[in-house]
Amino acid sequence: MAKLYINPANKKGHINPEIQGHFSEHLGRCIYEGLYVGEGNKEIPNTNGMRTDVVEALKEMQIPVLRWPGGCFADEYHWKDGIGPKEKRKKMINTHWGGVVEDNSFGTHEFMELCRQLGCKTYINGNVGSGTVQEMSEWVEYMTFEGVSPMADLRKENGHEDAWNVDFFGVGNENWGCGGNMTPEYYGNLYRRYQTYVRNYRNDRQIFKIACGANVDDYNWTEGVMSTCFKAPDFLHGFMDGISLHYYTHPGGWEHKGSATEFDEKMWYQTLKKTLYMEDLINHHTAIMDKYDKAHKVGLIVDEWGTWFDVEPGTNPGFLYQQNTIRDALVAGINLNIFNKHCNRVRMANIAQLVNVLQSVILTDGPRMVKTPTYHVFKMYKYHQDAELLDSFVESKEVGLEKENMVPNLTESVSLGKDGKIHITMTNLSVDEAFDIEGEIADTIIASVRGEIVGGEIHSHNTFDDPEKVKIEDFKGASFDGGKIKFTIPASSVLHLEVTTK
Ligand code: AHR
């Protein structure tokens, strides 16, 4: 019997909804087909070109924020190519991703329309690698300036009278690599310069500025950028509100990512072990940030994370299309629990990518759509959005097959939701063992418990012919007495318990 301790009196921090954020790039079938099918498309139901089935599903999941247009695409993207009459927009080759024609029919207006329909915040990633300061500055003016100016006038000419909200703005992406192959100090100086012209035109809507952060364990990058750019935020406006971190789970390393659906138990544990490394990365990058920013004003923004497997056989290798199994559900549950526990530093995280690319929540095939196991985990975790993290601890033991790939059997996080209920999310990493849990919620009398679960055989996944194989099932196995709660978490599953108190 493993003990779970929860102390509701000890609130550890606020869980920003954006911790459950998403990312959409002009990559493969993410934007085109996955989200946008074109105005007037008669085969796939849509509103202003955005496919209705996908928008409805994402609203139900409570998508809080969407990052766009990249990724590597961002540092090659020239926003003026994507505005104005569609027939006049430039056609070009998407050199990064699959060498296909990018017709720019999805641009700034379309992205803002998509976010309007989704009811989510906007995260725009600007171009430092191949763009100018003027280009970036004018984009911000085009989107957010309400008065009379060349860019605001151009926006109005293009049919949008009102300014939009840009909630988050990334100044470059992966500038240590695809975004210009820079050194941290060189990028840091460019960041200081470019961000100067990311103007806040409205005092009531400040743009949250994000500097490009490290890849995985490149602590030298975090150190270099923080030491070059950090300026105490209480001095006028600080240079940065956030710094990013990118970490993907490649079970067999970059060269041997392996299949998304065909894997053995060793690979299962290897994948989960690599997933858990996220916590080390957050701790180490946070320690560097702490040297400069003791007050934790700057957020660590994990704006690319998730599994990265081999593409599905027969698909374009440049499209990064992969299936999604119970293994992905565990990866999602573990990471979201880690982000919750680090919510004082992790202010936003964006899984890569929203539809049809890497660890997606939705897959499409023409007019058909499936929700993946990862979708269902996000939907169960939505109660943590805007909640208060509660002090919690679960006793765990190691499980696994190989010494170097042992993992804790359980991970958890607990919050007090906006609905006044206690939300417990727990993952069982074991392939074949269920665990009995006895929870104790201090100074609490439980009135009722509702449970829901995503789990099953580790390879289970949804296909277009069998779209409901993995879904959220009711979990009725929890009993309670006073402040105590007992349940058994099945093998390879992600569980959500909603506790109502007296
Ligand atoms: O998500 C796919 C790619 O991974 C992104 O374009 C890039 O930022 C990262 O290397």
Ligand 1 pocket mutation pick from 76, 304, 307, 351 by most atoms within 8 angstroms of CB: 304
- What separation in Å is there between the alpha carbon of 323 and the centre of ligand 1? 18
d(CA 469, CA 458): 12
Three-state DSSP string of 340-374: HHCCCCEEEEEEECCECCCCCCEEEECCEEEECHH
Nearest-atom index, ligand 1, CA of 215: 10
Question: Is there a contact between 144 and 108 (Cβ–Cβ < 8 Å)?
Answer: no
Q: Which H, E and C letters describe 423-463, residue by residue?
A: EEEEEECCCCCCEEEEEEECCCCEEEEEEEEEECCCCCECC
Cis peptide before 99 (omega within 30 of 0): no
* Nearest-atom index, ligand 1, CA of 352: 1
Q: Is the CB of 455 under 6 A from ligand 1?
A: no
CA distances from 353 to 210, 268, 303 (A): 19, 21, 10
Would you state the pLDDT for residue 157? 98
C-alpha 78 to ligand 1 mean position (Å):
18
Residue 255 is predicted with a pLDDT of 86
Nearest-atom number in ligand 1 for the CA of 72 is 6
CB of residue 304 inside a 6 A radius of ligand 1: yes
Residues assigned a catalytic role = 174, 304
Short-list 183, 83, 179, CA closest to 139: 83
Query: Does ligand 1 have an atom closer than 6 angstroms to the CB of 138?
Result: no
Structure tokens at 222: 């975090």
CA of 87 to the centre of ligand 1 (A): 29
Stretches in the chain below the pLDDT threshold 70:
232-238
d(CA 97, CA 75): 13
Q: What gap in Å lies between CA 171 and CA 213, rounded to an integer?
A: 10
Q: Is the shortest distance between the CB of 18 and ligand 1 below 6 Å?
A: no
To which residue do tokens 């299936």 refer? Answer: 323
Burial label, 443 (beta-carbon count in 10 A; 0-12, 13-18, 19+): exposed
Rounded Cα distance between 320 and 183, Å, is 28
Pocket test for ligand 1, best of 76, 96, 178, 301 (most atoms within 8 A of CB): 178
Q: Please give the model's pTM, rounded to 2 decimal places.
A: 0.97
Does residue 71 contact residue 173 with C-beta atoms inside 8 Å? yes
Q: How far is the CA of 85 from the centre of ligand 1 (A)?
A: 29
Asked if 359 contacts 331 with a C-beta cutoff of 8 angstroms, the reply is: yes
Using the atom order of ligand 1, give the atom closest to the CA of residue 304.
Answer: 1
Q: Tell me, in angstroms, the distance from the centre of ligand 1 to residue 262's CA.
A: 24
Residue 71 Cβ < 6 Å to ligand 1: yes
Strand partners, 408: 398
- Buried residues in 107-125 as b, exposed as e (16+ CB within 10 A): bbbbbbbbbebbebbbbbb
